Amino acid sequence: MSDSKTPMRTRRPDGTHRVVITGMGAVSPAGVGVEALWDAVMGKTCCIGPITRFDTEGYDVHLAGELRDFDAVEHGLTKKEARRFDRFVQYAIVASDEALAQAKLNMEEEDPTRVAVVFGTGIGGCDEFQAGCDALREKGPKRVSPLFVPTMIGNIAAGNLAIRYGMKGECLNMVTACATGAHNIGTALRDIRHGYADVALVGGAEESISPVCIAGFANLGALSKAADATQASLPFDARRQGFVAGEGAGALVIESLEHALARGAVPIAEITGFGSTGDAYHITAPDPTGEGVVRAMADALRESGFAPEEVGHVNAHGTGTPANDKTESAAVLELCGPEKGARVPVTSIKGTVGHTLGAAGALEAIICALSVARECVPPTTGFAEADPECAVNVVTAPIEDYPQKVALSNSLGFGGHNACLAFSPYQAD
């Protein structure tokens, strides 16, 4: 699958393909579009507010990162699609439309069997699942929608994206809870790197703000019960008490540098490394030693060709739960050493948009890639009071004019799933 005549500048030292990002799209509580998300994160805007999608009377939790006033038809879907597709699929399509437009990928000029879709969701169609269960209980089995299953199942976002754009390569939905978005990107990265695809549409989507999801997470003790939206999602802060559920989608077009240059695409940033590990510890709690997270970050760095002392910043999973932030802090300090670990900038976007679960890794990948491309580090919305057990350098104001060789984006999921993506500025040689 390699071409000996290909200039080596499009290949890594081991002969595998360099992989670049050529398009990005986002749907988040900040609104529709990557720049809406970027502006909110850089401006420390809290996009969290009262839940309006259902009545929260009787719930302990009343806040979330909702997509307010979202109309899929206004953003390119037909009325039929808007009726038939659950919200997570709608979000995935709108984000993907933006990513493909930026990438200027013309499928009529591509070999469709060389274009993959690797796009996931952590939970899937919550609305349809709840509606189907209600119909079964209240009206009987004959009243359950015949489209219940193909509307609700998690892989249907990837399936619908492939159908929409005519992409006939590998079509996957990697599900690793809150690490889903990052694992989908990493899986496609490896496919392209080793020649199984030329280009891939990757990312994650989630519609977790539903009665059953909020009740389940709240009863688990995972959600913040704060009444003030600005004090609810507090990554690494001593006052943190849980995460805030968010929703949306992040989509990226990634491709081999060889393919991107051949079609005249403009690379935004390069994905230089990926690490994926398991804790084998607990179904919800991270291993408090953080050793699995350390291995994921170390693997991503090793693959990228950089050393821990060269890390420009870490876009942390940073959920605002007591256990996650303490564990991730310990992992950064272990990876970089106590001196460098205490200095390297650490940021989390969850104070701005909440925890978007299966979409989080994709949205954070977008922010991390833009950070290295634009030579800056975003601040952490909500952080104000340092926690001695999180002895890392949490960014409180934007760091500008800050060139970086490599930055890391972490994602951690229930079940002990750890993923880390390494991003570097694109350089022609």
Tokens of 34: 């990557």
- Tell me the residue ranges of DSSP E strands in 136-266: 171-172, 199-206, 248-256
Nearest to 161 by CA among 203, 207, 102, 209: 203
Q: How far apart are CA 289 and CA 280, in angstroms?
A: 12
Q: Are strands 269-278 and 248-256 parallel, antiparallel or unpaired?
A: unpaired
| Burial tier of 49 (Cβ tally within 10 Å: 0-12, 13-18, 19+) | middle
Longest dimension (CA), the chain: 67
Q: How far apart are CA 387 and CA 236, in angstroms?
A: 7
Question: Can you tell me whether residue 39 is helix, strand or coil?
Answer: helix
Q: How far apart are CA 86 and CA 101, in angstroms?
A: 23
String of DSSP letters for 308-351 = GGGEEEEE----S-HHHHHHHHHHHHHHH-HHHHHHSEEE-SHH
- Which amino acids are annotated catalytic? 178, 317, 355
Using an 8 Å Cβ cutoff, are 404 and 301 in contact? no
* Residue 214 neighbours by CB under 8 Å, 6+ apart: 51, 56, 59, 61, 64, 208, 223, 245
| Burial tier of 349 (Cβ tally within 10 Å: 0-12, 13-18, 19+) | buried
